[in-house]
Amino acid sequence: MTTEPQKQGMHLSERLSRSCPVCGASPEHAREFLAEQIDPTRLNTFSFASRKEPEFLNYHMVQCATCDLVYVDQPPSQEALADAYHVADYDSAEEAVDAATSYLREMQSLMARLHQGAALEIGTGTGILLDGLKAAGFASVAGVEPSASAVAAAPPYRRAWIREGIFHEKDFEPESFDLVCCFMTMEHVRDPLDIAQSVLRLLRPGGAFVTVTHDYRSIVNRALGRRSPIIDVEHMQLFSPRSITELYTRAGYTDVHAKAFANRYALSYWTRLLPIPAGMKRRLIKAQNATGLGQWRLAFNVGNTMVTGFRPTETAGSAR
């Protein structure tokens, strides 16, 4: 792929101030959460890939005193982010399969309760979850994915389900989905409230919106501090259970429920995320792979939250 990291870094350096993207409180009502650490020469297309070794680059972040959200107060423009994700290299690792398996397991009881007509995944990657939703009984599935290389890596039958680009409400019929999923993506978008509101309008009454987000208040993330993988240049905001619940409620969802969520991954993947020197990490992964230990699947709650909310069946004005 011929991409130009330098040029892209400059594009990403055009920054615009914003208020809290969940509750709208101005940045004066926020306290500093994290000082900026950006090296434009190190920002490259892989910085926006979904799974990679942590780089410990981040934009300046503040913590909203009103809704508890941590957010970048001067993010790059929506267009710059869309471009960055469009050309992002895709790490087509088996972790995506493990992640989808974890999500489906956690959604089992929800899916049994829903009408299994149509499902949509925002940020679908190669569409692995769509396979699982089909197998779970959904009649039709669709996905949206901005990374061209991720879509290209999808098998042809799944590619037919995937719309390449940034999620736009107008690309879909109102009230046409029973389930919309958005996993590990709400941190990456410029306007998460706008997405939650758009999804509400795309859901049939009684349909569900499910997200998985990092929890910056979790013990693991607090212990790691700025060595946590959640501290990342890709993340335009970081949620806590309180702020993600607030987002759902403000968008008009009912029966909003948040729960801690354990991901099940291979040991080699967990090792890749460890805050230890790169050389030590490589030797550890090599040893694990040589012994087969690296393929062991382990479930850890690394501080993620799964939230479910429903479109009210009585559409008393809040939906539009």
Q: Which is nearer to Zn ion, 249 or 315 (CB)?
A: 249
Nearer to Zn ion, 66 or 289 (CB): 66
Closest distance of CB 77 from Zn ion, Å: 21
315 part of the interface to Zn ion, by CB under 5 A: no
Q: Taking the complex as a whole, how short is the minimal distance between the CB of residue 17 and Zn ion, in angstroms? A: 15
Residue 248 or 269 with smaller CB distance to Zn ion: 248
Q: Which of residues 145-204 bind Zn ion (CB under 5 A)?
A: none
The residue among 64 and 199 lying less far from Zn ion, judged by its C-beta, is: 64
CB-wise, 25 or 57, nearer to Zn ion? 25
Give me the least distance between CB of 284 and Zn ion, in Å please: 40
**Shortest Å, Cβ 62 to Zn ion:** 10
Q: Quick one: tokens of 203? A: 């859901």
Q: What span, in angstroms and rounded, lies between the C-alpha atoms of 320 and 317?
A: 6
Beta bridge partners of 239: 215
By beta-carbon proximity to Zn ion, the closer residue of 93 and 256 is 256
Binding string to Zn ion for residues 5 to 34, with x set by CB under 5 A, is what? Answer: ---------------x-xx-x---------
In whole angstroms, how close is the CB of 64 to Zn ion at the nearest point?
Answer: 3
Q: How far is the CB of 23 from Zn ion (least distance, A)?
A: 3
Binding footprint of Zn ion, residue count (CB under 5 A): 8
64-103 mask for Zn ion (x: CB under 5 A)? x-xx-x----------------------------------
Q: Which stretch binds Zn ion (CB under 5 A): 63-71, 87-95, 199-207, 248-256?
A: 63-71
Cβ distance to Zn ion smaller for residue 63 or 271: 63
| Least gap, CB of 74 to Zn ion (angstroms) | 16
Q: Are strands 162-164 and 177-183 parallel, antiparallel or unpaired?
A: unpaired
Q: Which of 112, 120, 316, 317 is nearest to 203 (CA)?
A: 120
Residues of this chain that bind Zn ion (CB under 5 A): 20, 22-23, 25, 64, 66-67, 69
